[in-house]
Structure 1
Amino acid sequence: MVSGGKIKNSEHRVTTNVSLCIALGCAVLMFSGLQMNKTLLSSTRLMTLLAGYIGSWLFIFLLTAVNNLESILFGKGFQARLIPEVFSCLVLACSACGMVHRVSVTVCILCSIVGLYYINKLSQYLYAAPSSAPISSSKKKK
């Protein structure tokens, strides 16, 4: 539970296997929702923007699924990198948005970058090792 920016209870977290299944299921639902409502989502400007926003959620779910799969295969300390994982998930999400409308691709890229920034910020907050190095003061000797 999150209260005041701090996580109080860590016993409600799901395992990596469950998170992989949930993220993969949500990614499939986002992709199929984009494809089934392709004509509706490309009908107006607002719906085209909505398709790009949905595509950014597809990117987030794909990246979560890929990272969980790598964590299962390669160990807990494995992290997603920019070039193979993030870029390939972004290309897949933009391809799904491109099937709807080309403006959706631009919105997907912009919203995905913002989402990636906040995911990185949250990840650093939750998983970064606490720094125990002493802070030295810069006083000149006489």
Structure 2
Amino acid sequence: MAASSSISMILASVFSILIFSTMQLYRTWFAASQLNTILGGYLGSWLFIFSLTALNNLESIALGDGFQAKFFPEVLFSLIGAVFACSMVHRVCATTCFIFSIIGLYFVNKISQRVHNMPAATEVFSKKKRK
């Protein structure tokens, strides 16, 4: 069941805040080992996805349902915010966040195209002339 734009914006905002605060509270744990640092980057990519979702839903509420997120400023703003949050934890965490976010953006775009780009109903015209 799909949520409305306002409910989705609230949920994505809450998850973004929870992920950011978790990363800041456990920053020493994320920086303790290489695997934890990579896990922090993965968690940062979820911060990117949720912040992009919240921002896009806010614009959808304010500007209408047909509004779509573009690379600049929505995607770039969310990506810079997530990488900055990860860079406060560890430098490698920021790098892995960038890589995982690009991969996540690819799959979100692929899912969005599958769901929202319905093939248009086209009429097939016959080349024969009617007499």
In structure 1, runs of 5+ residues without a counterpart are 1-11, 136-142
**Aligned counterpart for 2:101 among listed residues 93, 112, 122:** 112
Greater relative contact order, per chain length (Cα 8 Å cut-off, separation 6+): 2
Q: Quick one: distance in 1 between partners of 2:16 and 2:35?
A: 22
Q: Aligned residue for 2:45? A: 56
TM-score by length of 2: 0.91
TM-score by length of 1: 0.85
**Aligned counterpart for 1:95 among listed residues 84, 90, 95:** 84
Deviations along 1:5-35, whole A, 9 cap, x unmatched?
A: xxxxxxx211111000000000000000000
Q: Aligned residue for 1:43? A: 32
- The number of residues matched between the two structures is 125
The percent identity for this pair of structures is 46
In structure 2, runs of 5+ residues without a counterpart are 125-131
Deviations along 1:28-65, whole A, 9 cap, x unmatched?
A: 00000000000010010000001100000000000000
Q: Quick one: distance in 2 between partners of 1:134 and 1:30?
A: 49
**C-alpha displacement at 1:129, in angstroms?**
3.1
Off by >4 Å, runs of 4+ in structure 1 = none
Supply the RMSD in Å over aligned alpha carbons: 1.4
Q: Quick one: distance in 1 between partners of 2:30 and 2:93?
A: 9
